[in-house]
Amino acid sequence: METLGHIIRTKREAKGLLLRQVAAQLDIDQAILSKIEKGDRKPTRENICKLAEVLDIDKEKLMIQFLSEKIAYEIAGDDCASQALKVAEKKVKFIQANRK
Protein backbone atom coordinates (compact mmCIF):
# COMPACT_ATOMS: atom_id res chain seq x y z
CA MET A 1 0.00 0.00 0.00
CA GLU A 2 1.34 3.40 -0.99
CA THR A 3 2.20 5.67 1.92
CA LEU A 4 2.18 9.43 2.16
CA GLY A 5 5.97 9.48 2.40
CA HIS A 6 6.31 7.30 -0.68
CA ILE A 7 4.00 9.58 -2.68
CA ILE A 8 6.03 12.63 -1.66
CA ARG A 9 9.41 11.05 -2.36
CA THR A 10 8.32 9.60 -5.70
CA LYS A 11 6.93 12.92 -6.90
CA ARG A 12 9.96 14.89 -5.64
CA GLU A 13 12.36 12.56 -7.42
CA ALA A 14 10.25 12.56 -10.60
CA LYS A 15 10.51 16.35 -10.66
CA GLY A 16 14.29 16.11 -10.17
CA LEU A 17 14.21 18.04 -6.91
CA LEU A 18 16.62 17.51 -4.05
CA LEU A 19 15.50 17.18 -0.45
CA ARG A 20 17.13 20.50 0.40
CA GLN A 21 15.32 22.29 -2.43
CA VAL A 22 11.89 21.13 -1.34
CA ALA A 23 12.68 21.60 2.36
CA ALA A 24 13.74 25.20 1.66
CA GLN A 25 10.41 25.89 -0.07
CA LEU A 26 8.58 24.43 2.93
CA ASP A 27 10.81 26.36 5.35
CA ILE A 28 11.74 23.17 7.22
CA ASP A 29 15.02 21.35 7.76
CA GLN A 30 15.84 18.76 5.12
CA ALA A 31 16.23 16.13 7.88
CA ILE A 32 12.56 16.69 8.76
CA LEU A 33 11.50 16.23 5.14
CA SER A 34 13.62 13.08 4.94
CA LYS A 35 11.88 11.70 8.03
CA ILE A 36 8.48 12.55 6.53
CA GLU A 37 9.37 10.67 3.36
CA LYS A 38 10.55 7.66 5.39
CA GLY A 39 7.42 7.70 7.54
CA ASP A 40 9.40 8.44 10.70
CA ARG A 41 7.71 11.79 11.20
CA LYS A 42 4.23 13.06 10.42
CA PRO A 43 3.89 16.29 8.46
CA THR A 44 1.65 19.12 9.58
CA ARG A 45 -1.47 20.11 7.67
CA GLU A 46 0.46 23.21 6.55
CA ASN A 47 3.29 20.99 5.24
CA ILE A 48 0.76 18.98 3.23
CA CYS A 49 -0.68 22.09 1.59
CA LYS A 50 2.77 23.41 0.69
CA LEU A 51 3.96 20.00 -0.55
CA ALA A 52 0.93 19.71 -2.82
CA GLU A 53 1.78 23.09 -4.32
CA VAL A 54 5.55 22.57 -4.61
CA LEU A 55 5.32 19.05 -6.01
CA ASP A 56 2.25 19.68 -8.14
CA ILE A 57 0.19 16.99 -6.41
CA ASP A 58 -3.58 17.20 -6.16
CA LYS A 59 -4.12 18.80 -2.74
CA GLU A 60 -7.24 16.77 -1.99
CA LYS A 61 -5.49 13.48 -2.84
CA LEU A 62 -2.57 14.35 -0.58
CA MET A 63 -4.86 15.52 2.23
CA ILE A 64 -6.91 12.31 2.03
CA GLN A 65 -3.72 10.26 2.32
CA PHE A 66 -2.54 12.41 5.24
CA LEU A 67 -5.83 12.14 7.14
CA SER A 68 -6.29 8.43 6.45
CA GLU A 69 -2.82 7.62 7.79
CA LYS A 70 -3.38 9.84 10.80
CA ILE A 71 -6.56 7.94 11.64
CA ALA A 72 -5.20 4.49 10.81
CA TYR A 73 -2.08 4.81 12.95
CA GLU A 74 -4.11 6.18 15.84
CA ILE A 75 -6.57 3.28 16.02
CA ALA A 76 -4.78 0.36 14.34
CA GLY A 77 -3.93 -1.33 17.65
CA ASP A 78 -7.53 -1.54 18.82
CA ASP A 79 -9.53 -4.71 18.20
CA CYS A 80 -12.63 -2.70 17.36
CA ALA A 81 -10.89 -0.29 14.94
CA SER A 82 -12.89 -1.31 11.87
CA GLN A 83 -16.19 -0.94 13.69
CA ALA A 84 -15.11 2.42 15.08
CA LEU A 85 -14.31 3.63 11.56
CA LYS A 86 -17.80 2.71 10.38
CA VAL A 87 -19.38 4.63 13.23
CA ALA A 88 -17.03 7.57 12.67
CA GLU A 89 -17.97 7.69 9.00
CA LYS A 90 -21.64 8.02 9.93
CA LYS A 91 -20.80 10.73 12.45
CA VAL A 92 -18.76 12.68 9.88
CA LYS A 93 -21.67 12.56 7.43
CA PHE A 94 -24.06 13.71 10.17
CA ILE A 95 -21.79 16.59 11.23
CA GLN A 96 -21.26 17.72 7.64
CA ALA A 97 -24.98 17.59 6.87
CA ASN A 98 -25.81 19.69 9.92
CA ARG A 99 -23.20 22.36 9.21
CA LYS A 100 -25.08 23.57 6.15
Distance CA 84, CA 94 (A): 15
Residue 39 backbone class (left: φ over 0; alpha: ψ -120 to 50; beta: rest): left
Percent share of the chain, pLDDT over 70: 99
pLDDT exceeds 80 at position 100: no
Structure confidence by residue, pLDDT tens digits, 36-62:
999 999 999 999 999 999 999 999 999
Domains of the chain: 4-99 (1.10.260.40)
**What pLDDT, on a 0 to 100 scale, did the predictor assign at position 1?**
82
